[in-house]
Amino acid sequence: LCDYGGSKKLLTQLLDEEQQRELEREQELEEERQQKRSSCVNPHEPQLHDEIKALCNMYGPKLNLSELTSVFCPIADAFLNTTFYHECQPRCWQQNLWVTDEFKRVIQTRGESLEPFLRPTRWTVIYRNEHIIFVSPFEANWIMGQLYNLYRNQSAGQLFTTTLRLLLPRTRPNQSIIVNTPTLTIPPSIASDFGAVMFPIPTEWLTVLYIFNGTLYFETTDEEKIYCHCLGVCPKPRTKIEENAFEKGWITIDGFVERPDHRKLLQLQQCRFHANPLAFIRKLIENRNNAQAPLISHVGSILTNAVKGMTSFQRKAYEQTSFLAKKNKQKL
């Protein structure tokens, strides 16, 4: 024992020192966990504003949401009092996308960061088929009852242009996001002369909502294309023109195209962001989903590898099908 490790006393001393270091490490980790834990907070007391009730007035004058700033806020204001606010480039979002003041208010703040308390993006009001307003569950509950009452007393031919809809982030392949399902809007859009006017949310609007709610998968390649254009990214696989642009340095390693003249040449004029938004998108997705975007997801592939995930998946499926068909043909 002495030859290999020294005296018993020395070994005991070394063991005690190692245990002490281990205890200190555990204490440091616990202190870090305590710092990450949110302090005790009180929930915000919900309030129903008259302007929210006025959204259900189908035939009165249309509300000017931009003038009702105490109730309706631009969508980027959902990130106020978080590190996301300046990173999200608040002036770059569509002007017909809103959140209510109640949607923003989750806790009674005393200077706390609201990042752990961002409200899930679930209930939306499509107002006069022109504006999308995210509302709190408390507001949605009242609006739902009011719209159902109006629907039951509706006269034939008087179709509604304001609906309440549920919007789910697509966190799994082929998952329904519900928002454009006619039978699930409130009121439903299932009859030509009753209920609500059929109004599928345009893909250009949806892709911005996908950014906002942390969606990970697309339903179509058109959604993927518009999503990339909205972010100003040109991921692989690229055309010959795009490859030349990459070689010239117009396209960064992560796929972002910064200069407006380069975007125009690459047909990315629909980009809504002046600066590279990808770091913000990654952080927002992690906040929304409590995890980073998986590499196998369509969005994760774009953000991490600068590769169109849906296009790559379809190409692999095509190659696999072609290989199997060729193999079966050889057997015959």
> Do 122 and 178 share a structural domain?
yes
Question: pLDDT higher for 27 or 208?
Answer: 208
Q: Are 179 and 266 part of one and the same domain?
A: no
Sorted by sequence, the CB contacts under 8 Å of residue 151 that are 6+ apart come out as 160, 186, 187, 195
| pLDDT score for 247 | 96
Q: Is residue 35 part of a domain?
A: no
Q: Do residues 170 and 84 share a domain?
A: yes
Q: Is the confidence at residue 319, as pLDDT, over 50?
A: no
37 has pLDDT over 80: no
**63 CB-near residues (< 8 Å, 6+ apart):** 51, 54, 55, 127
In a domain, residue 34? The reply is no
| Per-residue burial over 121-150, b = 16 or more CB atoms within 10 Å of its CB, e = otherwise | bbbbbbbeeebbbbbbebbbeebeebbeeb
- Picking from 164, 183, 204, the residue at the C-terminal end of a domain is 204
Per DSSP, what are the bridge partners of residue 236? Answer: 307
- Higher model confidence: residue 5 or residue 265? 265
**SS3 for 126?**
strand
Nearest to 254 by CA among 306, 309, 308, 307: 306
114-124 pLDDT, tens digit per residue, is 788 899 999 99
* Domain-located, residue 157: yes
43 found inside a domain = no
Which of 204, 233, 248 finishes a domain? 204
pLDDT of residue 4: 46
Residue 16 placed within a domain: no
Is there a contact between 96 and 132 (Cβ–Cβ < 8 Å)? yes
Q: Which of 175-184, 238-247, 316-325 has the lowest mean pLDDT?
A: 316-325
Closest CA to 171 of 121, 134, 226: 121
Q: Are residues 101 and 191 in the same domain?
A: yes
Residue 199 shares a structural domain with residue 260: no
- pLDDT band for 322, please (50, 70, 90 cuts): very low
Q: Are residues 222 and 159 in the same domain?
A: no
- Partnered with residue 163 across adjacent β-strands are 126
**CA-to-CA distance for 79 and 115, rounded, in angstroms?**
8
Tell me the per-residue pLDDT of 164-194, one tens digit each, with 9 for 90 and over.
999 999 999 999 999 999 999 999 988 877 8
Domain contains 228: yes
Q: Rounded mean pLDDT of 2-7?
A: 50
On whether residue 23 sits in a domain, the answer given is no
Mean pLDDT confidence for 8-30: 63
182 domain-assigned? yes
Q: Are 160 and 193 in contact (CB under 8 A)?
A: no
Q: How far apart are CA 19 and CA 31, in angstroms?
A: 18
250 and 119, same structural domain? no
Same domain for 226 and 127: no
Do the beta carbons of residue 168 and residue 206 sit within 8 Å? no
- Tell me: pLDDT of 101 over 80: yes
Number of domains in the chain: 2
Quick one: 257 and 307 in the same domain? yes
| pLDDT at 104 exceeding the cut of 50 | yes
Look up residue 197 and give its two tokens: 């006017």
My answer on whether 63 and 153 are in the same domain is yes
Is 44's pLDDT higher than 80?
A: no
Neighbours of 102 (CB within 10 A): 22
Domain that holds residue 306: 216-323
Query: Which of 171, 204, 237 is the endpoint of a domain?
Result: 204
Cβ-based neighbours of 40, under 8 Å, separated by 6 or more = none
- 242 by DSSP, 3-state: which? helix
* pLDDT value at 95 more than 70: yes
Confidence (pLDDT) at 106: 79
Same domain, 220 and 278: yes
- Which pLDDT score, from 0 to 100, does residue 117 have? 80
Which residues are paired to 124 by β-bridges? Answer: 134, 165
Average pLDDT, the chain: 86
| Region 299-306 average pLDDT | 96
> Of the candidates 205, 234, 232, which has an alpha carbon nearest to the alpha carbon of residue 94?
205
Beta-strand relationship, 163-166 and 72-74: unpaired
Residue 1: its pLDDT value, please?
Answer: 46
| pLDDT, greater one: 105 or 62 | 62
Specify the higher pLDDT residue, 331 or 42.
Answer: 42
Other C-beta atoms within 10 Å of 46: how many? 13
Of all residues in the chain, what percent carry a pLDDT higher than 70? Answer: 80
Q: Are residues 230 and 180 in the same domain?
A: no
| Strand, coil or helix: 94 | coil
Taking the C-alpha atoms of residue 85 and residue 68, their distance in angstroms, rounded to an integer, is 21
pLDDT score at 33: 55
